[in-house]
């Protein structure tokens, strides 16, 4: 069980338990106490147990509602989405963008929308193999293909349903590592930067599960699934390696960087705070 799932379970249980204590105090214990005080004139205090745990309910309930149905914080753990997102970025994920789901279990309560090509999405890693260390973890990538899309990737260029996404050299070559080049991509109107290694050629061991050649393939997205890729195109563990993401695994759309922390210098990166994610 991942930390996120465990936290959601604990938060749900805490909300229910404190809610029951608060309700008993509000609608049963408090009225009875008030009647006794009115009859005897002797003041009575609320029990310490119900006062403490019942008092926590409004706070816990607010956190529960916001985290489960509105926005959830997420920390970027790897460089697979550079240059769009950096290691150490803390982002807000819109939980209602693709429908309201149960806090535990992932069942859908209300249908509100579907991912679009180019959306940056947080989802639960789709491989359920018990031996996979990523099982149950949250991942973040960009939606490249929606159900039924025909994807082609060759020469570092994406083509979806016969339409190629044009790329050009980015004006600023920042956030790049050795051998990387920052390019500007227009993916169906979603304009963003990507990183590529022009001289890198994929080998059969890079993505042995789905696409033996992660730099040259064609693929049709099955119904109810989404094909994901990182913006760090030659440095991303994504659908080229472990396959498509079922609709039930989607958690929400990434919207905003609310904090960024530089671990090497042990200080916040103020210039990234408030960055909208596109």
Supply the residues annotated as catalytic. 80, 141
Helices then strands, each counted (H, E), the chain:
4, 17
**Nearest one of 46, 17, 48, 51 to 32, comparing CA atoms:** 46
Please list, residue by residue across 224-235, b when 16 or more beta carbons sit within 10 angstroms of its beta carbon and e when fewer do: ebbbbbbbbbbb
Is omega for the bond preceding 230 within 30 degrees of 0, making it cis?
Answer: no
CA distance 83 to 85: 6
CA distance 158 to 165: 6
Q: What are the two backbone dihedrals, phi and then psi, of residue 77, each rounded to the nearest 5 degrees?
A: -95, -15
- Across 82-162, the runs of DSSP E, i.e. the strands, are 89-94, 100-101, 108-110, 120-124, 138-145, 150-154, 157-160
């Amino acid at each position: 069980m991942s930390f996120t799932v465990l936290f959601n379970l604990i938060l749900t249980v805490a909300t229910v338990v404190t809610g029951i204590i608060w309700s008993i105090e509000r609608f049963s214990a408090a009225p009875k106490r008030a009647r006794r005080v009115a009859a005897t004139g002797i003041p009575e205090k609320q029990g310490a147990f119900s006062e403490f745990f019942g008092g926590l309910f409004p706070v816990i309930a607010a956190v529960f509602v916001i985290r489960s149905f509105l926005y959830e914080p997420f920390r970027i753990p790897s460089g697979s989405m550079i240059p769009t997102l950096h290691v150490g970025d803390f982002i807000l994920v819109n939980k209602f963008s693709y429908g309201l789901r149960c806090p535990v279990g992932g069942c859908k309560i209300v249908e509100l929308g579907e991912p679009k090509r180019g959306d940056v999405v947080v989802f639960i890693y789709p491989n359920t193999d018990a031996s996979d260390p990523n099982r149950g973890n949250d991942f973040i990538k960009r939606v490249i293909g929606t159900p039924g899309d025909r994807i082609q990737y060759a020469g570092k260029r994406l083509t979806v349903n016969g339409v190629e996404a044009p790329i050009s050299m980015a004006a600023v070559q920042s956030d790049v590592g050795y051998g990387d080049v920052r390019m500007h991509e227009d993916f169906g109107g979603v304009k963003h930067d990507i990183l590529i290694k022009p001289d890198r050629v994929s080998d059969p061991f890079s993505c042995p599960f789905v696409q033996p050649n992660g730099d040259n393939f064609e693929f049709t997205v099955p119904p109810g699934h989404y094909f994901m890729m990182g913006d760090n195109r030659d440095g991303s563990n994504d659908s080229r390696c472990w396959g498509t993401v079922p609709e039930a695994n989607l958690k929400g759309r990434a919207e905003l960087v609310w904090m960024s922390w530089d671990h090497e210098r042990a200080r916040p990166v103020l210039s990234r705070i408030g960055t909208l994610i596109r």
